[in-house]
Amino acid sequence: MGSSLRYGYFKHGNLDNSLINMKKIWQLAPKIDKRLSDKFPEFSPVILQLLFNRGFTGREEIDKFFYPDLEKDIFDPFFLRQMNEAVDLIIKHVKAQNKIVIYGDYDADGVTSSVVLTETLKIFKAQVDYYIPDRIKEGYSLNMEAIKKIIEAGAKLIITVDCGIISKNEVKYAQELGAEVVITDHHTPPEKDDDLPPSIIINPHVRGENYPFKYLAGVGVAFKLAQALIAKSTLSEVDKKKLETKLLDLVAIGTIADLVSLVGENRVLVKKGLEVISNNDRLGLNELIKISQLNNGKKLDSWNIGFQIAPRLNAAGRMDLAHKAFDLLITKDKSEAENLAQFLNEKNAERQRLTEEISVQAEAEISDKDNKIIISVCPENTLNWNEGVIGLAAGRLCEKFYRPTLVIARTEDGYKGSGRSIAEFDLVAAIRECGEFLERYGGHPRSCGFSLKAENLEKFAEKMRIIAEEKLHEEDLQPKLIIDCEADIKEIDEDLVNQIEKFSPFGQDNFKPKLMSRNIQIKDIMTMGAEGQHIKFRFNGFWAISFGGAEGWKDYKVGDIVDVVYNLEINEFNGRREVQMKIVDMRKI
């Protein structure tokens, strides 16, 4: 590592790290056409701008967005090309009482997917079991040893969830051993059709697939298969709907956790799933909510799921065994639910500590070569980095320096890495170009995982740097703050906050609206927290808070005139409700 980084100056296109962290390009969304304002006079200018930003300019699409209908606004699962074949094959094995194994992934999306299909098949009296690989010992997706073990234990059908699309050889091996395979996945398929697994595949991204919505999470695809099985069952229509609805808490958790787009069908599934969670009877989930002390009895939203529930479910696979999260979600025993919730809570605390340690160490390994892509490798003379959290460390560095980032740990026979990327760089496409150096790889445009032999590390890193140099320009590496609209601070009230809340659930492609107000004066300043790490500013009757922002805003003083970008929320404390601004960014005039 160059000494310049130790002293707080990290050369990235002549930008030091403080500038990368703080100086964002503010981009205000284009203003609505006056004709649109005239068309919908019942909406305030702010709300109409938010609708316009999301592409909604007609009455029907606005109503569908605000009032989604579970029956009308999600697609028939049989639109998926091979769904009929998959259902018929599964029914054949259910009727024969053959053993069926659900083969999942170890993250929250994979675990919820596994529970969705396991619970559904149990309703139909199937002989069903599940298998979730060990992240460290086995890695992602199907592996030969696991397949051999599963089939030796009697499995005649393997159904993958949230994995399998790149497992051609493993599927062939399972078939040679006498088992049939159904792949359900949402990850990017191989470039060539010849490299697809030779089995039934349910994946909206496969070429020739006409399913109207391409952005389902793994749990969304699993839910589609569950829907199709339920549709072909002999249950009454009322019972079919009840069974479908009961699964939506899992669909919401997995979808939010996997950071897929929260528009279209996903928005409907998550919105309805959050309603199920607020009235749910899933013992394990309730115990996890209780032990995590979430939301003080209020309804959970997508933020609670994404930043509080999902990390605890993921902690099982990152730190220990993912089956603990599966067991929590499926258990009917209160004592077991309490114990598993306690276990996951403790593992999450351990995960947070390790992530912090590895993030610091990974940052220290950044070199002068890391100009447009950061590639940080665990050095030989230190304790090896936990493979379960290197992706989280990559995410932190990616956010801090606004560069695609790979964090790579040592293994017994080479290296294993995890990556996170910025919007301007398709990470999985880049590592695919480096496939000649990799043992295994997979992922999404913004995240990936891979493994490689030690002798290929330098060649892989060099090619990734060349690709990043070719595809990324300096302007791509300047973080941008997309602002939904400008608002007069005098227009802000509780009614506006309530109207904005109708845009929830918030997430990818439907982020919590960012508003901007100009030329407002700081009337008062207050620091909070045990170490004074949080800060509040008083603006024209409103408090604006920045959690952990006291150091960043320490030079601001009463009387300063600022432009501020913020989210709006309701702060409830001691029975009082008041509008509060949550600072995203701020600049002195």
DSSP 90-155: HHHHHHTT-EEEEE--SSHHHHHHHHHHHHHHHHTT-EEEEE---TTTT-SS--HHHHHHHHHTTE
For residue 281, is pLDDT > 90? no
- Confidence band (pLDDT; 50, 70, 90) for 34? confident
Identify any residues that bridge with 444 across adjacent strands, giving them in sequence order: 447
Give tens-digit pLDDT for 76-130. Answer: 999 999 999 999 999 999 999 999 999 999 999 999 999 999 999 999 999 999 9
What confidence score (pLDDT) does residue 322 get?
80
State whether 223 and 369 are in the same domain: no
For residue 265, is pLDDT > 70? yes
What confidence score (pLDDT) does residue 296 get?
65
272 CB-near residues (< 8 Å, 6+ apart): 68, 70, 245, 248, 252
Please report, in angstroms and rounded to a whole number, the separation of the first and last CA atoms in the chain: 38
What confidence score (pLDDT) does residue 9 get?
29
- Confidence band (pLDDT; 50, 70, 90) for 11? very low
Indicate the angle between helix axes 334-364 and 283-291, nearest 10 degrees.
Answer: 50
CA 130, 132, 133, 134 torsion: positive or negative? Answer: negative
| More confident call, 1 vs 162 | 162
State whether 113 and 238 are in the same domain: yes
Q: Decide if 357 is inside a domain.
A: no
What confidence score (pLDDT) does residue 297 get?
64
Domain residue limits at 456: 365-477
CA 351, 354, 359, 365 torsion: positive or negative? Answer: negative
Q: What is the mean pLDDT of residues 462-487?
A: 94
Provide the 3-class DSSP secondary structure of residue 353.
Answer: helix
Q: Decide if 260 is inside a domain.
A: no
Q: What is the mean pLDDT of residues 6-17?
A: 33
Q: Decide if 371 is inside a domain.
A: yes
Q: Which of 4-18, 255-269, 284-298, 302-316 has the lowest mean pLDDT?
A: 4-18
- Confidence band (pLDDT; 50, 70, 90) for 3? very low
Q: Decide if 570 is inside a domain.
A: yes
State whether 445 and 502 are in the same domain: no
Q: Decide if 500 is inside a domain.
A: yes
What confidence score (pLDDT) does residue 295 get?
64
Q: How far is CA 492 from each of CA 37, 299, 497, 567, rounded to the nearest angstrom? A: 19, 24, 8, 11
CB 90 within 8 A of CB 182: yes
CATH of the domain at 231: 3.90.1640.30
Kindly state the tokens that stand for 143. Answer: 């592996």
Place of tokens 């906050």: 497
Looking at 189, 214, 245, which one is the last position of a domain?
A: 245
- State how far the Cα of 223 lies from the Cα of 455, in Å rounded to an integer: 42
Place of tokens 């620091």: 527
Q: Decide if 382 is inside a domain.
A: yes
Place of tokens 């009840």: 242
Provide the 3-class DSSP secondary structure of residue 566.
Answer: strand
As for how many domains the chain has, the answer is 3
Looking at 245, 264, 294, which one is the last position of a domain?
A: 245
145 CB-near residues (< 8 Å, 6+ apart): 138
Q: Decide if 394 is inside a domain.
A: yes
Give tens-digit pLDDT for 221-238. Answer: 999 999 999 999 999 999
- Confidence band (pLDDT; 50, 70, 90) for 1? very low
pTM for the model stands at: 0.88
State whether 229 and 106 are in the same domain: yes
What confidence score (pLDDT) does residue 345 get?
94
Give tens-digit pLDDT for 361-414. Answer: 999 999 888 889 999 999 988 889 999 899 999 999 999 999 999 999 999 889
What confidence score (pLDDT) does residue 38 get?
87
Mean per-residue pLDDT over the chain, rounded: 91
- Output DSSP code: residue 253: H
Q: What is the mean pLDDT of residues 544-568?
A: 95
Judge if the upstream peptide bond of residue 45 is cis by omega within 30 degrees of 0. no
Q: Decide if 163 is inside a domain.
A: yes
